[in-house]
């Protein structure tokens, strides 16, 4: 791992310009496009080796991970990538910017269309690991001790235009796609209990997560999980988390800060987190749109949190003075908002919450998505069991769930004579169905195609 390049490049502003340029580079040469966009490393399914140049791209990001230097900008062509040696997980320990969705010649980009860059894995692969699909950790790259010595600690981590689909990594019952199996066997690797993307940073970082789609992951907590260091600025925009366990997003911190000036600052704008399921049918945790943590500054706007098994916004850890304005928060089973142990409906957030500074302009209208009947029928066949009720008689929590079924015309009411498990859990969703969720609703909520 090379860490000699301490003069970290500032690519965020360059790439804002670059994103605008991409719309018109279809006729440009690949070299011109790459120069305009500051790519320093290239990855393509058609590549090989570890040179990572435009002429000789690497075959997988994982093959380059230990060769990356601070400030590298990695551009990845459309295709499916399974990690180094089909491990299904990549770890990067220096600040980098990663962009997916390029054409094979790197002359244009269409990350949610013709050139999707899919990070997946291979169930039962010889080198299979159950770690988070992509982890970027700069904790040791930028420390307070280094700053005290006069070393430059300012750095940026950026992920843009990647589709994380764990469907091929999961272990499904009976060779189907209806029910994940969390425990491995002599003949099968387990379903990973980890998310799509985890980013941890040291001090004075900027983190950008944009145009990411994550589906079919089965973590205990965050699908897209962020733990930035002191005084970090984090921008999360135009992302989709759909059909996962745990929580679609986890806005955490990598520092126990006493001074609010050291709290990481989150701008969470125009994202979607829907159809997130509990860890198991009988479990009481997981199944939320987003988890917040104390010691953070959070501003949430223009986003959709709906059809989650527990909460739209889980603020049990009591992030304070949060701003939650202009969002669509609807049809979450236990409550739209949880604050410590108090369940609060959308209409009462401004009055009852002690930690929401501004909760104006949110709507409880349920969004509709044109997902396939095939996936919908499987989702509608789940038995969502309430743990407290189950401890008495094992009953289904059917009021909310049947409203969701009815809304999408997926299934009629099912019986309540159940075992403590469900024959359907985290049924595999196709990327096409995930794209059907990746929409802007009523011109104000959710995402737009990049």
Give the phi and the psi of residue 432 in degrees, each rounded to 5. Answer: -60, -40
Element (H, E) at 42: strand 41-43
DSSP code for 224: E
CA 374, distance to chain mean position in Å, is 24
**Rg of the chain in Å (alpha carbons):** 21
Tokens of 274: 């829907």
Residue range of the domain that includes 130: 12-358
Please report whether residue 122 resides in a domain: yes
Residue 217 lies in a domain: yes
pLDDT tens digits, 314-339: 999 999 999 999 999 999 988 999 99
255 located within any domain: yes
Question: Would strands 222-227 and 247-251 be described as parallel, antiparallel, or unpaired?
Answer: parallel
Tell me what pLDDT residue 12 has: 35
427 within a domain of the structure (yes/no): no
Residue 55: per-residue pLDDT: 96
- Average pLDDT for 356-360: 96
417 has pLDDT over 70: no
Q: Does residue 370 belong to any structural domain of this protein?
A: no
Work out the average pLDDT over 61-79. Answer: 97
- What's the CA gap between 433 and 192, in Å, rounded? 22
* Position 90 pLDDT exceeds 80: yes
Dist. CA 75–CA 53, nearest whole Å: 10
Residues forming a β-bridge with 102: 77, 109
DSSP characters for 42-109?
EE-TT--SS---SSS-BS-HHHHGGG--TT-EEEEESEEE--GGG-S-EEE-S--EEEEEE-TTSS-B
Our measurement of the distance from residue 16's CA atom to the centroid of its chain's CA atoms, rounded to an integer in Å, reads 21
Q: How many domains does the chain have?
A: 1
Between strands 134-137 and 205-210, the pairing is: unpaired
The two tokens of residue 116 are 């999707």
52-80 average pLDDT score: 97
Q: Decide if 146 contacts 100 (C-beta within 8 A).
A: no
pLDDT tens-place string over residues 240-266:
999 999 999 999 999 988 899 999 999
Q: Is residue 74 part of a domain?
A: yes
Least confident of 249-258, 317-326, 392-401, 433-442: 392-401
DSSP per residue, 401-437: HHHHHHHHT---PPP----SS-S-BS----HHHHHHH
Comparing CA positions, the residue from 157, 150, 160 lying closest to residue 99 is 160
Distance (Å, rounded) from C-alpha 312 to C-alpha 134? 25
Using pLDDT thresholds of 50, 70 and 90, give the confidence band for residue 37.
Answer: low
| Percent of the chain whose predicted confidence (pLDDT) is above 70 | 86
**What is the average per-residue pLDDT within 3-7?**
36
Residue 99 has pLDDT above 80, yes or no: yes
Q: Answer yes or no: is 442 within a domain.
A: no
pLDDT at 434: 98
Claim: this prediction has a pTM higher than 0.75: yes
Has residue 396 been placed in a domain? no
């Amino acid at each position: 791992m090379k860490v000699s390049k301490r003069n970290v490049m500032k690519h965020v502003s360059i790439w804002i310009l670059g994103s605008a340029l991409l719309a018109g580079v279809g006729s440009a040469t690949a070299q011109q496009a790459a120069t305009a966009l500051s790519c320093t490393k290239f990855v393509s399914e058609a590549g090989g080796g570890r040179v990572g140049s435009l002429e000789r791209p690497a075959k997988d990001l994982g093959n380059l991970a230990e060769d990356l230097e601070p400030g590298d900008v990695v551009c990845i062509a459309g295709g499916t990538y399974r990690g180094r040696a089909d491990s299904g997980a990549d770890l990067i320990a220096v600040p980098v910017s990663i962009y997916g969705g390029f054409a094979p010649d790197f002359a244009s980009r269409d990350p949610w269309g013709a050139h999707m860059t899919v990070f997946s894995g291979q169930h039962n692969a010889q080198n299979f690991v159950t770690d988070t699909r992509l982890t970027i950790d700069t904790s040791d790259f930028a420390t307070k001790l280094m700053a005290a010595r006069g070393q430059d600690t300012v750095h940026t981590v950026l992920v843009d235009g990647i589709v994380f689909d764990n469907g091929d990594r999961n272990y499904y019952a009976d060779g189907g796609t209806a029910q994940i199996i969390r425990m491995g066997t002599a003949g099968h690797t387990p379903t990973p209990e980890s998310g799509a993307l985890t980013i941890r940073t040291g001090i004075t970082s900027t983190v950008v997560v944009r145009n990411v789609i994550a589906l079919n992951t089965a973590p205990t907590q965050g699908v897209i999980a962020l733990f930035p260091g002191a005084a970090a600025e984090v921008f999360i925009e135009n992302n989709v988390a759909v059909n996962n366990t745990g929580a679609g997003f986890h806005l955490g911190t990598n520092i126990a800060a006493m001074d609010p000036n050291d709290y990481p600052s989150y701008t969470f704008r125009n994202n979607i987190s829907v159809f997130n399921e509990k860890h198991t049918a009988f479990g009481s945790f997981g199944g939320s749109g987003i988890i917040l943590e104390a010691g953070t500054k959070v501003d949430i706007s223009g986003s959709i949190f709906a059809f989650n098994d527990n909460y739209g916004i889980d603020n049990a850890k009591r992030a304070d003075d949060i701003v939650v304005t202009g969002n669509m928060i609807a049809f979450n089973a236990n409550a739209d908002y949880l604050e410590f142990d108090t369940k609060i409906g959308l209409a009462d957030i401004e009055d009852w919450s002690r930690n929401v500074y501004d909760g104006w302009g949110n709507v409880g209208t349920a969004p509709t998505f044109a997902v396939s009947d095939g996936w919908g029928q499987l989702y509608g066949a789940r038995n969502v069991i309430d743990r407290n009720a189950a401890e008495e008689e094992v009953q289904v929590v059917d009021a909310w769930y049947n409203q969701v079924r009815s809304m999408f015309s997926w299934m009629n009411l099912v019986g309540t004579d159940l075992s403590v498990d469900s024959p359907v859990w985290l049924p595999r969703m196709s990327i096409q169905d995930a794209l059907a969720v990746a929409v802007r609703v009523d011109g104000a909520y959710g995402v737009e195609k990049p």
